[in-house]
């Protein structure tokens, strides 16, 4: 049986009539730009994320770009972000006018820590973007503490972590990803845990000024037509996407539960495979497993052995950002961020989507055991 890394068709089939009706509603209204669907999604997302403001934008990339632009960077201003993340985190920083400064990550959680950020801090640091990689939150209490001590703005990159939570200290209530810092960025790219029928994104904000600026920046810099307080862009969330996402949002928590159950089963199947490091969940975290990512030796050999039996895998990410060609002018060197570099050689993501099912999951787990030559009870 083939096991794709991700199969979106099963989810569509399970909600087909509601999704088709939502699309038809928008098409019938011919109201494609902003309007009631976008307003309603923003209200529903703000309630879900437990944050006062939610502003729909055209992509997760823009959900980073617009808050960064709102900070009005001056030449040489730096933003610290992990070297081990999707390119958009750094691309947005660059395109907003910041100099991206790459930090290393924790080898177990793959996320930034206070220490890895501190190691690259400079007097030009103005902002930090902790990325909640693969669906678990970075230690926000430490990062927000550091930012408050030294004076820097924090924007959470929660593109992969919608619905994740973290208990940020003993006796605290869990805080939702995107609601810990003054602003957060979400992506509705189809492969995300809440995915649209195309591109889409959202900025969450506790900071009213930030929410106001982003709401203006997404429509050319002014709320009133033909009045431009700042130079913005066109980065609206489509009404069609909003309508689709509104159908899916009520199911998000049950999909996360299915992903978590799959992760638990993989953990059971792979715990005795000494070559494999399964994901480590930081204490206090509720992980939503946008990706289930192992560290393994002989990663590429494992991938091709799995591919030979019809099992799809992914490598997120093969090249750390400080070594990307486009950032050569920043002077990144091999060996500079050893954990990020090592992870790029060792990580492999397995199918974890909610509809995966027991039989396909067992097949993946068994194929990995076979590759490393681990018998039952070894």
Ligand X SMILES: Cc1ncc(COP(=O)(O)O)c(C=O)c1O
> What is the contact surface with ligand X in residues (CB under 6 A)?
59-61, 85-86, 88-89, 131, 157, 159-160, 187, 189, 199, 201
In the complex, least distance from residue 133 CB atom to ligand X, rounded to whole angstroms: 7
Distance CA 308, CA 237 (A): 40
What stretch of H or E contains 79? strand 78-82
Q: How far is the CB of 374 from ligand X (least distance, A)?
A: 32
Strands (E) located in 241-339:
285-286, 292-295
Comparison of 60 and 67: residue with beta carbon closer to ligand X:
60
Q: Residue 67 Cβ, how far from ligand X at the closest point, in Å?
A: 12
Residue 291 Cβ vs ligand X, minimum distance, rounded to whole Å: 9
How many CB atoms sit inside 10 A of residue 294's CB?
21
CB closer to ligand X, 59 vs 363: 59
Q: Which residue, 116 or 363, has its beta carbon nearer to ligand X? A: 116
Task: Tell whether the torsion through CA atoms of 144, 150, 154 and 156 is positive or negative.
Answer: negative
Closest residue by beta carbon to ligand X: 60
Kindly tell me which of 222 and 312 has the beta carbon lying closer to ligand X: 312
The least distance separating ligand X from the CB of residue 212, rounded to whole angstroms, comes to 22
* Listed residue (157, 179, 153) closest to 166, CA to CA: 179
Burial class (CB in 10 A: 0-12, 13-18, 19+), 334: exposed
Closest distance of CB 96 from ligand X, Å: 13
Strands (E), 104-252: 125-128, 153-157, 165-167, 174-176, 183-187, 201-205
Smallest separation, CB 330 to ligand X (Å): 19
Nearer Cβ to ligand X, position 156 or 207?
Answer: 156
Cβ closest to ligand X, residue 191 vs residue 366: 191
Residue 175, CB-side half-sphere exposure with 13 Å CA sphere: 22
**What is the phi/psi pair of residue 187, to 5°?**
-120, 140
State which residue, 48 or 84, has the beta carbon closest to ligand X.
Answer: 84
One DSSP character per residue, 119-149 reads TT--TTEEEE--B-GGG----HHHHHHHHHH
Alpha-carbon gap, residue 83 to 330, rounded angstroms? 13
């Amino acid at each position: 049986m083939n096991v794709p890394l991700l199969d979106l068709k099963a989810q569509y089939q399970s909600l087909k009539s509601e999704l088709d009706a939502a699309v038809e509603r928008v098409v019938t209204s011919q109201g494609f730009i902003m309007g009631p669907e976008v307003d309603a999604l923003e209200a529903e997302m703000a309630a879900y994320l437990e944050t006062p403001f939610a502003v729909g934008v055209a992509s997760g990339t823009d959900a980073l770009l617009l808050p960064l632009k709102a900070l009005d960077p001056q030449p040489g201003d730096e933003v610290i972000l992990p070297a081990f993340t999707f390119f958009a985190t750094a691309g947005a920083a660059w395109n907003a006018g910041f100099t991206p400064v790459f930090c290393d990550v924790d080898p177990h959680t793959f996320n930034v820590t206070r220490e890895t950020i501190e190691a690259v801090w400079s007097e030009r640091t103005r902002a930090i973007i902790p990325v909640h990689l693969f669906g678990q939150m970075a230690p926000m209490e430490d990062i927000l503490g550091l930012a408050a001590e030294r004076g820097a703005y924090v924007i959470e990159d929660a593109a992969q972590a919608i619905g994740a939570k973290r208990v940020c200290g003993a006796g605290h209530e869990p805080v939702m990803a995107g609601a810990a810092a003054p602003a957060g960025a979400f992506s509705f790219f189809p492969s995300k845990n809440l995915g649209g029928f195309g591109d889409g994104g959202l900025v969450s904000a506790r900071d009213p000024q930030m929410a106001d600026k982003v709401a203006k920046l997404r429509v050319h810099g002014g709320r009133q037509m033909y009045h431009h307080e700042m130079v913005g862009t066109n980065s609206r969330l489509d009404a069609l996407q909003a309508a689709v996402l509104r159908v899916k949002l009520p199911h998000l928590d049950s999909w996360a539960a299915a992903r978590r159950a799959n992760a638990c089963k993989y953990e059971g199947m792979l715990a005795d495979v000494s070559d494999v490091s399964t994901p480590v969940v930081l204490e206090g975290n509720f992980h939503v497993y946008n990706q289930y990512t192992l560290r393994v030796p002989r990663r590429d050999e494992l991938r091709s052995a799995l591919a030979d039996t019809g099992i799809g895998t992914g490598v997120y990410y093969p090249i750390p950002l400080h070594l990307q060609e486009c950032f050569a002018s920043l002077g990144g060197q091999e060996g500079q961020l050893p954990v990020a570099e090592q992870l790029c050689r060792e990580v492999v993501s397995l199918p974890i989507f909610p509809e995966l099912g027991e039989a396909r999951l067992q097949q993946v787990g068994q194929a990995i055991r076979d590759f490393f030559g681990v018998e039952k009870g070894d």
